[in-house]
Structure 1
């Protein structure tokens, strides 16, 4: 991974670590691994969470604080700049010599990495690994840390981990506020992979949550310009992985693209040679080769309009 050794040197020389992570399980797991590493060495380590829209604000606050705390390393985990201009805005914050490491596995806008690196940031960007795994490589972890990486990988790929923790955490995280998300990362950092408070939330919410998905999810199918598209509309708070796990997302052989439609976003799944990340990037988003996301242009845009938009974007996205 390019930048890995540089990131390790920054981490190894830090006297204080401030992790800014995404709010999903991969981001929180990556934060937990970095917090765990720092605290094992007696370093002060703090954690902030951010969504894509709030990243600049949270990062600005963290870097401004770091300017007054020499030896602080700010690490961004599992978030990508939304645009080159946002990356340039972050780069402009590094004018007092703050140290910034950025680890991520999502698609990045052209020029964003270069803008950060010119300002002295170290970027470790590898789309073939989840961010928790990249964090593990940066911190040179092993042993018990690897179970946390497996949970993050299972959540990111919508697959099963041996203990079923990815599925359960996925539900719990959807019921937490910002403080609750930080609490989750702290529990994971301490090695408590399934704390009692999380179990209680899961047991209270799971029956109603899964029943609502089964009862309320709607599937509309279209064929536009030779592209077979299914638009799946679940309840607003449902996870795409859970909708898929319950068998409500048409799969390979049935459609070319499945779109899970949320009030503010699209979760795009493809099979074979059609690239979900390519489709998503043409719609202002990004992601991985067969699972990606993009903003929903308007809440008034219905399934038929979404299907046409996705089919048009899919042109030229085969086998890239």
Structure 2
């Protein structure tokens, strides 16, 4: 296939906004090979390894753990590379692959090794990442898992237990909603599991308080600003900078920069963010313009489609009156966002192959059997995916109504009992 057919960086904005990035078209087999090679390289010779989500929260955990082990990478080569990307005036070397991926881990060339290896993962690749650690780690390696929650213990039991057999320390720091069975299984296996309150802490907070180390003030500030974004507080404008930068750049670069500077990013980075935001804002506007609003149970749900920053789009839909927002992506996945009037995002996501927080969750409905399904997805701007997710909202609304009715019946019964007495 001609590379130009899957490179959307030069497409007009309207077409670019409805198609996935270049990375989507890489076969899983090739991506798995690359992931395994990167994991093997990260583990080789390391004193510790961190398996983590590659967003700002997960990578904030990496910065803390590398500080603990005195294993931070030199930041200057990364800053030089950022300035070179800006000089090229192309929006960044990874531009064509980063706008519609769930895992924003771009591959950096010639990244020096750290004594704390970084394996970028997500809920759907967690088992595989733990398998890599079990396969390539030397006995005595310390292992940390950060900012990821498994859907069930059985899916990770075998590789996790293999990791425990060879590691001196296995710790897991997170703040997501854990199924009780999964948390019990991880703890019973021997992992030091710390799960923070998802309404109060981000995973960087949890890692900061769990590590026996006196961190400098910039790391405390980094955790606070990361929390500001990750918990959708949005009081500190720097939190959006952290989130955007983590999404647009390589995981190693982000961890090195915030490890050196904390939340107060240096000028080359803020210039780079400003450069990328021009296109980002255009894509947000396209997605907001496409939105439709549906009444489901007690909620108004804003639904849209596009290659965009889902948090900002969700904010716009909620400002227009939506209790919940659904942003369907060209890749086939979707983000679900809630607020004061909707705290069941994780329940909806679990109905369609996903999970997350009460006010923010993600999913990818299992409805894509071949490329014709994806072609239909792109040309209809996610029609089937929208329908399936709205049906999940309906089921959750029905379950809540049934629960309320049952509670009402129980209260009536209790009242009758008291009257009889």
Q: Is the CA contact 2:171–2:192 (under 8 Å) kept in the aligned structure 1? A: yes
Give 1:184's aligned residue.
254
After superposition, what is the alpha-carbon deviation per residue over 1:128-172, rounded to whole angstroms, capped at 9, x for unaligned? Answer: 32100000101254522211111211221233353x222123223
Q: Is the CA contact 1:23–1:181 (under 8 Å) kept in the aligned structure 2? A: yes
After superposition, what is the alpha-carbon deviation per residue over 1:246-284, rounded to whole angstroms, capped at 9, x for unaligned? Answer: xx21259x3443222223123232433642233333333
SS at match of 2:291: strand
SS at match of 2:170: strand
Partners of 2:52 and 2:343 in 1: CA distance: 30
TM-score if structure 1 supplies the norm length?
Answer: 0.80
Q: Does 1:137 align with 2:234?
A: no
Q: Structure 1 pair 139/161, CA: closer, same or farther in 2 (3 Å)? A: farther
Question: Counterparts of 1:47-62 in structure 2 under 5 Å?
Answer: 47-62=118-133
Higher strand share: 1
Alignment root-mean-square deviation, CA: 2.9
Partners of 1:313 and 1:60 in 2: CA distance: 35
Give 1:34's aligned residue.
65
Q: Does 1:155 align with 2:229?
A: yes
Question: Counterparts of 1:82-121 in structure 2 under 5 Å?
Answer: 82-94=151-163, 96-98=165-167, 99-121=169-191
After superposition, what is the alpha-carbon deviation per residue over 1:60-107, rounded to whole angstroms, capped at 9, x for unaligned? Answer: 2224443x242x210001011243222213333236342311111112
Which one has the largest radius of gyration? 2
TM-score if structure 2 supplies the norm length?
Answer: 0.62
SS at match of 2:116: strand
SS at match of 1:167: helix
Partners of 2:147 and 2:254 in 1: CA distance: 16
- The Cα of 1:200 is off from its aligned counterpart by 3.9
Partners of 1:157 and 1:201 in 2: CA distance: 25
Partners of 1:103 and 1:292 in 2: CA distance: 19
Q: Which runs of 5+ in 1 are unaligned?
A: 1-14
Partners of 1:230 and 1:45 in 2: CA distance: 42
Partners of 1:89 and 1:317 in 2: CA distance: 36
Give 1:167's aligned residue.
240
Q: Which runs of 5+ in 2 are unaligned?
A: 1-45, 73-113, 368-373, 378-383, 405-421
Give 1:12's aligned residue.
none
Question: Counterparts of 1:237-276 in structure 2 under 5 Å?
Answer: 238-245=308-315, 248-251=316-319, 254-262=321-329, 263-272=332-341, 274-276=343-345
